Protein backbone atom coordinates (compact mmCIF):
# COMPACT_ATOMS: atom_id res chain seq x y z
CA UNK A 1 0.00 0.00 0.00
CA UNK A 2 1.24 3.48 -0.92
CA UNK A 3 1.38 6.03 1.88
CA UNK A 4 0.06 9.24 0.36
CA UNK A 5 1.16 12.61 1.80
CA UNK A 6 0.43 14.54 -1.37
CA UNK A 7 -1.41 17.79 -0.55
CA UNK A 8 -4.13 17.40 -3.15
CA UNK A 9 -5.44 15.33 -4.64
CA UNK A 10 -4.72 13.55 -1.41
CA UNK A 11 -5.46 10.37 0.45
CA UNK A 12 -9.18 9.64 0.52
CA UNK A 13 -10.79 8.18 3.62
CA UNK A 14 -10.54 4.37 3.38
CA UNK A 15 -14.27 4.19 4.13
CA UNK A 16 -14.84 5.69 0.68
CA UNK A 17 -14.42 2.18 -0.72
CA UNK A 18 -17.56 0.98 1.08
CA UNK A 19 -19.46 4.21 0.44
CA UNK A 20 -18.89 3.77 -3.29
CA UNK A 21 -20.58 0.39 -3.27
CA UNK A 22 -23.36 1.75 -1.06
CA UNK A 23 -23.96 4.57 -3.52
CA UNK A 24 -24.36 2.04 -6.29
CA UNK A 25 -26.62 -0.21 -4.22
CA UNK A 26 -28.82 2.65 -3.06
CA UNK A 27 -29.48 3.62 -6.66
CA UNK A 28 -28.43 7.22 -6.12
CA UNK A 29 -26.13 7.27 -9.13
CA UNK A 30 -28.79 7.14 -11.79
CA UNK A 31 -31.30 9.32 -10.05
CA UNK A 32 -32.47 12.61 -11.65
CA UNK A 33 -31.05 15.76 -10.07
CA UNK A 34 -34.49 17.37 -10.04
CA UNK A 35 -36.04 14.46 -8.17
CA UNK A 36 -36.88 13.94 -4.52
CA UNK A 37 -34.07 11.44 -3.84
CA UNK A 38 -31.42 13.94 -4.90
CA UNK A 39 -33.05 16.85 -3.08
CA UNK A 40 -33.09 14.81 0.14
CA UNK A 41 -29.43 13.90 -0.26
CA UNK A 42 -28.49 17.50 -0.98
CA UNK A 43 -30.50 18.87 1.95
CA UNK A 44 -28.97 16.34 4.34
CA UNK A 45 -25.47 17.21 3.09
CA UNK A 46 -26.00 20.94 3.57
CA UNK A 47 -27.32 20.31 7.11
CA UNK A 48 -24.32 18.15 7.96
CA UNK A 49 -21.84 20.67 6.54
CA UNK A 50 -23.31 23.38 8.74
CA UNK A 51 -23.38 21.22 11.83
CA UNK A 52 -20.05 19.46 11.52
CA UNK A 53 -18.04 22.42 10.19
CA UNK A 54 -19.55 25.22 12.31
CA UNK A 55 -20.98 27.10 9.35
CA UNK A 56 -23.39 29.87 10.44
CA UNK A 57 -27.04 28.90 9.90
CA UNK A 58 -27.74 31.90 7.67
CA UNK A 59 -24.85 31.23 5.28
CA UNK A 60 -25.86 29.70 1.96
CA UNK A 61 -24.06 26.68 0.64
CA UNK A 62 -23.43 26.00 -3.04
CA UNK A 63 -21.88 23.16 -4.98
CA UNK A 64 -19.37 23.84 -7.74
CA UNK A 65 -16.96 21.53 -9.51
CA UNK A 66 -13.63 22.98 -8.36
CA UNK A 67 -12.05 25.78 -6.36
CA UNK A 68 -10.91 27.28 -9.65
CA UNK A 69 -14.53 27.46 -10.75
CA UNK A 70 -15.35 29.27 -7.49
CA UNK A 71 -12.65 31.87 -8.26
CA UNK A 72 -14.37 32.58 -11.55
CA UNK A 73 -17.96 32.52 -10.28
CA UNK A 74 -17.10 35.07 -7.59
CA UNK A 75 -15.39 37.49 -9.98
CA UNK A 76 -18.15 37.18 -12.58
CA UNK A 77 -21.06 37.56 -10.23
CA UNK A 78 -19.78 39.87 -7.48
CA UNK A 79 -17.64 42.38 -9.36
CA UNK A 80 -18.37 44.72 -12.25
CA UNK A 81 -15.06 46.62 -12.15
CA UNK A 82 -12.47 45.14 -9.87
CA UNK A 83 -11.38 42.89 -7.09
CA UNK A 84 -8.31 43.18 -4.85
CA UNK A 85 -6.05 40.18 -4.17
CA UNK A 86 -3.67 39.73 -1.27
CA UNK A 87 -1.30 36.82 -1.94
CA UNK A 88 2.04 35.24 -1.15
CA UNK A 89 1.98 32.13 -3.32
CA UNK A 90 0.85 30.46 -6.52
CA UNK A 91 -2.81 29.85 -5.77
CA UNK A 92 -3.51 33.38 -4.56
CA UNK A 93 -1.65 34.78 -7.55
CA UNK A 94 -3.48 32.57 -10.04
CA UNK A 95 -6.81 33.73 -8.65
CA UNK A 96 -5.72 37.34 -9.30
CA UNK A 97 -4.61 36.46 -12.83
CA UNK A 98 -8.00 34.92 -13.64
CA UNK A 99 -9.70 37.97 -12.14
CA UNK A 100 -7.62 40.30 -14.33
CA UNK A 101 -8.67 38.42 -17.46
CA UNK A 102 -12.30 39.10 -16.59
CA UNK A 103 -11.89 42.49 -14.90
CA UNK A 104 -8.61 44.07 -16.10
CA UNK A 105 -8.70 46.76 -13.37
CA UNK A 106 -8.30 44.15 -10.63
CA UNK A 107 -5.29 44.71 -8.39
CA UNK A 108 -3.13 42.85 -5.93
CA UNK A 109 -0.67 43.11 -3.10
CA UNK A 110 2.03 40.46 -2.76
CA UNK A 111 3.63 39.73 0.58
CA UNK A 112 6.47 37.56 1.81
CA UNK A 113 6.08 33.96 3.01
CA UNK A 114 7.53 34.88 6.39
CA UNK A 115 5.33 37.92 6.84
CA UNK A 116 1.81 37.99 8.28
CA UNK A 117 -0.72 39.28 5.74
CA UNK A 118 -0.01 43.04 6.02
CA UNK A 119 -3.51 44.37 6.69
CA UNK A 120 -2.26 47.81 7.85
CA UNK A 121 -0.27 48.42 4.67
CA UNK A 122 -3.05 47.65 2.22
CA UNK A 123 -4.25 50.42 -0.03
CA UNK A 124 -7.55 49.19 -1.30
CA UNK A 125 -9.50 51.80 -3.26
CA UNK A 126 -13.11 52.41 -2.32
CA UNK A 127 -14.42 51.16 -5.67
CA UNK A 128 -13.09 47.67 -4.94
CA UNK A 129 -16.00 45.24 -4.87
CA UNK A 130 -14.35 42.10 -3.57
CA UNK A 131 -11.27 41.47 -1.43
CA UNK A 132 -9.73 38.05 -2.03
CA UNK A 133 -7.11 36.04 -0.18
CA UNK A 134 -6.05 32.45 0.43
CA UNK A 135 -6.40 31.30 4.05
CA UNK A 136 -4.00 28.40 3.57
CA UNK A 137 -1.53 28.81 0.71
CA UNK A 138 -1.00 25.22 -0.37
CA UNK A 139 1.95 26.09 -2.61
CA UNK A 140 4.24 27.22 0.22
CA UNK A 141 2.65 26.01 3.46
CA UNK A 142 1.63 29.35 4.93
CA UNK A 143 -1.57 30.39 6.63
CA UNK A 144 -3.44 33.57 7.46
CA UNK A 145 -4.28 33.47 11.19
CA UNK A 146 -7.75 34.11 12.64
CA UNK A 147 -6.47 37.36 14.22
CA UNK A 148 -5.28 38.68 10.86
CA UNK A 149 -8.61 37.76 9.27
CA UNK A 150 -10.38 39.61 12.07
CA UNK A 151 -8.21 42.70 11.45
CA UNK A 152 -9.02 42.62 7.74
CA UNK A 153 -12.72 42.22 8.54
CA UNK A 154 -12.61 45.19 10.94
CA UNK A 155 -10.74 47.42 8.51
CA UNK A 156 -12.97 46.72 5.50
CA UNK A 157 -16.39 46.12 6.96
CA UNK A 158 -18.27 47.41 3.93
CA UNK A 159 -16.48 45.37 1.28
CA UNK A 160 -17.20 41.72 0.55
CA UNK A 161 -14.31 39.44 1.52
CA UNK A 162 -13.78 36.07 -0.21
CA UNK A 163 -11.50 33.39 1.18
CA UNK A 164 -9.98 30.44 -0.65
CA UNK A 165 -9.86 27.78 2.09
CA UNK A 166 -9.27 24.85 -0.24
CA UNK A 167 -6.59 23.17 1.86
CA UNK A 168 -7.98 24.02 5.29
CA UNK A 169 -11.78 23.78 5.24
CA UNK A 170 -12.83 20.56 7.01
CA UNK A 171 -9.46 20.58 8.78
CA UNK A 172 -9.56 23.86 10.69
CA UNK A 173 -12.38 25.38 12.70
CA UNK A 174 -12.67 28.45 10.47
CA UNK A 175 -14.62 31.45 11.78
CA UNK A 176 -16.81 31.93 8.76
CA UNK A 177 -18.58 34.92 10.27
CA UNK A 178 -15.40 37.00 9.71
CA UNK A 179 -15.66 36.90 5.94
CA UNK A 180 -18.46 36.69 3.39
CA UNK A 181 -17.42 33.85 1.14
CA UNK A 182 -15.42 30.71 1.91
CA UNK A 183 -14.82 27.88 -0.52
CA UNK A 184 -12.88 24.65 -0.92
CA UNK A 185 -12.73 21.68 -3.21
CA UNK A 186 -13.04 18.29 -1.56
CA UNK A 187 -9.80 16.57 -2.66
CA UNK A 188 -7.77 18.11 0.18
CA UNK A 189 -8.93 18.19 3.82
CA UNK A 190 -12.28 16.58 3.07
CA UNK A 191 -10.48 13.38 2.07
CA UNK A 192 -12.67 12.77 -1.00
CA UNK A 193 -12.16 12.30 -4.74
CA UNK A 194 -11.87 15.50 -6.81
CA UNK A 195 -14.70 16.99 -8.83
CA UNK A 196 -16.70 18.88 -6.22
CA UNK A 197 -16.30 22.19 -4.40
CA UNK A 198 -18.28 23.74 -1.58
CA UNK A 199 -18.89 27.47 -1.43
CA UNK A 200 -20.39 29.18 1.65
CA UNK A 201 -21.82 32.68 1.31
CA UNK A 202 -23.12 35.24 3.80
CA UNK A 203 -26.61 36.68 3.28
CA UNK A 204 -25.17 40.01 2.14
CA UNK A 205 -23.22 38.18 -0.59
CA UNK A 206 -26.52 37.05 -2.06
CA UNK A 207 -27.96 40.53 -1.63
CA UNK A 208 -25.03 41.94 -3.59
CA UNK A 209 -25.27 39.26 -6.29
CA UNK A 210 -28.95 40.08 -6.78
CA UNK A 211 -28.13 43.80 -7.06
CA UNK A 212 -25.57 43.13 -9.77
CA UNK A 213 -27.89 40.53 -11.33
CA UNK A 214 -25.23 39.04 -13.58
CA UNK A 215 -26.89 36.24 -15.55
CA UNK A 216 -24.50 35.56 -18.39
CA UNK A 217 -23.14 32.22 -17.21
CA UNK A 218 -24.60 28.85 -16.39
CA UNK A 219 -23.11 29.25 -12.94
CA UNK A 220 -24.02 32.86 -12.29
CA UNK A 221 -24.42 33.18 -8.55
CA UNK A 222 -28.03 34.37 -8.79
CA UNK A 223 -28.99 31.32 -10.85
CA UNK A 224 -27.17 29.05 -8.43
CA UNK A 225 -28.99 30.73 -5.56
CA UNK A 226 -32.39 30.29 -7.15
CA UNK A 227 -31.77 26.58 -7.72
CA UNK A 228 -30.28 26.10 -4.26
CA UNK A 229 -33.46 27.41 -2.62
CA UNK A 230 -34.64 23.88 -3.33
CA UNK A 231 -31.22 22.25 -2.78
CA UNK A 232 -30.64 21.92 -6.50
CA UNK A 233 -27.93 22.95 -8.91
CA UNK A 234 -27.95 24.66 -12.31
CA UNK A 235 -26.31 21.66 -14.00
CA UNK A 236 -26.27 17.95 -13.28
CA UNK A 237 -23.93 17.90 -10.27
CA UNK A 238 -21.38 15.38 -9.09
CA UNK A 239 -24.01 13.31 -7.28
CA UNK A 240 -21.51 10.61 -6.33
CA UNK A 241 -19.18 13.09 -4.61
CA UNK A 242 -22.11 14.74 -2.82
CA UNK A 243 -23.15 11.29 -1.61
CA UNK A 244 -19.60 10.54 -0.43
CA UNK A 245 -19.47 13.92 1.29
CA UNK A 246 -22.64 13.16 3.20
CA UNK A 247 -21.33 9.79 4.34
CA UNK A 248 -17.92 11.13 5.37
CA UNK A 249 -19.49 14.02 7.30
CA UNK A 250 -21.84 11.66 9.15
CA UNK A 251 -18.86 9.68 10.42
CA UNK A 252 -16.57 12.58 11.28
CA UNK A 253 -16.16 14.29 14.65
CA UNK A 254 -17.12 17.94 15.01
CA UNK A 255 -14.57 20.30 13.52
CA UNK A 256 -13.48 21.71 16.88
CA UNK A 257 -12.04 18.43 18.15
CA UNK A 258 -10.78 17.44 14.72
CA UNK A 259 -8.89 20.75 14.48
CA UNK A 260 -7.24 20.20 17.85
CA UNK A 261 -5.73 16.86 16.87
CA UNK A 262 -4.63 18.26 13.51
CA UNK A 263 -2.96 21.28 15.12
CA UNK A 264 -1.20 19.05 17.67
CA UNK A 265 0.03 16.82 14.88
CA UNK A 266 1.31 19.78 12.85
CA UNK A 267 3.29 20.90 15.89
CA UNK A 268 4.86 17.44 16.17
CA UNK A 269 5.71 17.38 12.48
CA UNK A 270 7.38 20.81 12.59
CA UNK A 271 9.39 19.73 15.60
CA UNK A 272 10.33 16.48 13.95
CA UNK A 273 11.55 18.09 10.73
CA UNK A 274 13.51 20.76 12.64
CA UNK A 275 16.09 18.20 13.66
CA UNK A 276 17.64 17.58 10.23
CA UNK A 277 20.76 19.48 9.30
CA UNK A 278 20.15 19.47 5.55
CA UNK A 279 16.41 20.01 5.59
CA UNK A 280 14.86 23.34 6.60
CA UNK A 281 11.33 24.41 7.26
CA UNK A 282 10.46 26.71 4.34
CA UNK A 283 8.51 29.04 6.62
CA UNK A 284 10.62 30.45 9.44
CA UNK A 285 7.93 32.55 11.08
CA UNK A 286 6.03 30.09 13.30
CA UNK A 287 2.92 32.20 13.40
CA UNK A 288 2.26 31.96 9.67
CA UNK A 289 3.12 28.28 9.29
CA UNK A 290 0.27 26.25 7.87
CA UNK A 291 -1.34 23.64 10.10
CA UNK A 292 -2.31 21.45 7.17
CA UNK A 293 0.53 21.64 4.64
CA UNK A 294 4.15 21.37 5.79
CA UNK A 295 6.67 22.80 3.31
CA UNK A 296 10.27 21.63 3.60
CA UNK A 297 13.30 23.04 1.85
CA UNK A 298 16.59 21.42 0.86
CA UNK A 299 19.07 21.48 -2.00
CA UNK A 300 17.59 20.46 -5.35
CA UNK A 301 19.70 17.34 -5.30
CA UNK A 302 18.56 16.30 -1.86
CA UNK A 303 14.90 17.03 -2.63
CA UNK A 304 15.18 14.85 -5.68
CA UNK A 305 16.84 12.08 -3.68
CA UNK A 306 14.24 12.24 -0.89
CA UNK A 307 11.29 12.05 -3.27
CA UNK A 308 12.75 9.17 -5.29
CA UNK A 309 13.81 7.18 -2.28
CA UNK A 310 10.45 7.77 -0.61
CA UNK A 311 8.61 6.48 -3.67
CA UNK A 312 10.83 3.43 -3.62
CA UNK A 313 9.51 2.84 -0.09
CA UNK A 314 5.92 3.41 -1.19
CA UNK A 315 5.76 6.88 0.30
CA UNK A 316 4.36 9.66 -1.87
CA UNK A 317 5.51 13.16 -0.88
CA UNK A 318 4.18 16.38 -2.38
CA UNK A 319 6.29 18.11 -5.02
CA UNK A 320 7.31 21.71 -4.60
CA UNK A 321 4.97 24.15 -6.31
CA UNK A 322 5.44 27.32 -8.36
CA UNK A 323 8.58 29.23 -7.32
CA UNK A 324 9.44 26.46 -4.90
CA UNK A 325 9.09 23.57 -7.35
CA UNK A 326 12.64 22.19 -7.25
CA UNK A 327 13.98 23.01 -3.81
CA UNK A 328 11.02 22.11 -1.62
CA UNK A 329 8.72 19.20 -0.98
CA UNK A 330 5.44 19.19 0.90
CA UNK A 331 3.78 16.91 3.43
CA UNK A 332 0.01 17.10 3.82
CA UNK A 333 -1.36 17.05 7.35
CA UNK A 334 -4.92 16.15 6.43
CA UNK A 335 -7.52 14.41 8.62
CA UNK A 336 -7.78 11.28 6.48
CA UNK A 337 -4.11 10.42 7.07
CA UNK A 338 -3.55 8.28 10.16
CA UNK A 339 -1.06 8.97 12.97
CA UNK A 340 0.56 5.57 12.22
CA UNK A 341 1.29 6.72 8.70
CA UNK A 342 3.21 9.72 10.02
CA UNK A 343 5.15 7.39 12.33
CA UNK A 344 6.22 5.43 9.29
CA UNK A 345 7.19 8.63 7.51
CA UNK A 346 9.29 9.67 10.51
CA UNK A 347 11.05 6.30 10.59
CA UNK A 348 11.92 6.73 6.93
CA UNK A 349 13.48 10.16 7.49
CA UNK A 350 15.32 9.08 10.63
CA UNK A 351 16.74 6.07 8.86
CA UNK A 352 18.04 7.83 5.76
CA UNK A 353 18.51 11.50 6.61
CA UNK A 354 19.33 11.90 10.30
C1 LIG B 1 -5.84 22.91 -4.78
C2 LIG B 1 -6.12 24.34 -4.64
C3 LIG B 1 -6.87 25.06 -5.59
C4 LIG B 1 -7.35 24.44 -6.87
O5 LIG B 1 -8.36 23.51 -6.59
P6 LIG B 1 -9.19 22.86 -7.82
O7 LIG B 1 -10.28 22.13 -7.13
O8 LIG B 1 -8.22 22.00 -8.56
O9 LIG B 1 -9.67 23.98 -8.66
C10 LIG B 1 -7.15 26.39 -5.35
N11 LIG B 1 -6.71 27.01 -4.25
C12 LIG B 1 -5.98 26.37 -3.31
C13 LIG B 1 -5.54 27.10 -2.10
C14 LIG B 1 -5.68 25.02 -3.47
O15 LIG B 1 -4.97 24.37 -2.53
Q: Is 236 helix (H, G, I), strand (E, B) or coil?
A: coil
> Long-range contacts for 272-279 (Cβ within 8 Å, ≥24 apart)?
272/346, 272/349, 273/349, 275/354, 276/349, 276/353, 276/354, 278/302, 278/353, 279/306, 279/353
Residue identifier of the C-alpha nearest atom 10 of ligand 1? 67
pLDDT score, position 251:
94
Beta carbon of 68 within 6 Å of any ligand 1 atom:
yes
Segment 100-108 mean pLDDT: 98
**Closest to 41 in 3D by CA, of 63, 10, 56:** 63
Residue 1: per-residue pLDDT: 83
> What spacing in Å lies between the alpha carbon of 143 and ligand 1's midpoint?
15
Give mean pLDDT, residues 248-267.
Answer: 97
Give the residue, by CA position, lying nearest to ligand 1 atom 4. 67
Look at residue 185 in the predicted model and tell me its pLDDT: 98
pLDDT at 247 over 90: yes
Confidence of residue 323 (pLDDT cuts 50, 70, 90): confident
Q: How confident is the model at residue 47 (pLDDT cuts 50, 70, 90)?
A: very high
pLDDT one-digit tens code per residue, 273-310: 999 999 999 999 999 999 999 999 999 999 999 999 99
Residue to substitute in 64, 68, 85, 293 for testing ligand 1 pocket (most ligand atoms within 8 angstroms of CB): 68
CB-ligand 1 contact for 135 (6 Å cutoff): no
Residue 132 banded pLDDT, cuts 50, 70, 90: very high
Q: Measured from the CB, is residue 7 less than 6 Å from ligand 1?
A: no
Helix orientation angle between 203-212 and 67-78, rounded to the nearest 10 degrees: 60
pTM above 0.85, yes or no: yes
pLDDT score recorded for residue 322: 86
Q: Given ligand 1 and candidates 6, 8, 183, 332, which is best to mutate, with the most ligand atoms within 8 Å of its CB?
A: 8
pLDDT on residue 231: 98
Q: Closest ligand 1 atom, CA of 65?
A: 7
pLDDT of amino acid 316: 97
Q: For residue 67, report the distance from its CA to the centre of ligand 1, in Å.
A: 5
193 CA distance to ligand 1 middle (Å) = 13
Ligand 1 pocket, residue 93 CB under 6 Å: no
Per-residue confidence (pLDDT) for residue 182, from 0 to 100: 99
User: Is 166 touching ligand 1 by the criterion CB < 6 Å?
Assistant: yes
The pLDDT value recorded for residue 238 is 98
pLDDT at 336: 98
Confidence of residue 24 (pLDDT cuts 50, 70, 90): very high
Amino acid sequence: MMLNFYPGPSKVYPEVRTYLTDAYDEGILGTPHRGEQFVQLSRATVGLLKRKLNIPQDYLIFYASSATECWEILIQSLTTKKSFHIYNGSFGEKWMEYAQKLRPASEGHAFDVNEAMPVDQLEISSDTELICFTQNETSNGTQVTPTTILNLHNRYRDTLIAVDATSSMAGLNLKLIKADIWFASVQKCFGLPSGLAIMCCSPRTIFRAKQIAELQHYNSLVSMYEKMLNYQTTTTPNVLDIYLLRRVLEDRPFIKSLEQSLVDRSQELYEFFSQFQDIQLLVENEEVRSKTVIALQASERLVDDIKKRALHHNIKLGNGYGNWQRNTFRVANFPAILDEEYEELKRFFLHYYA
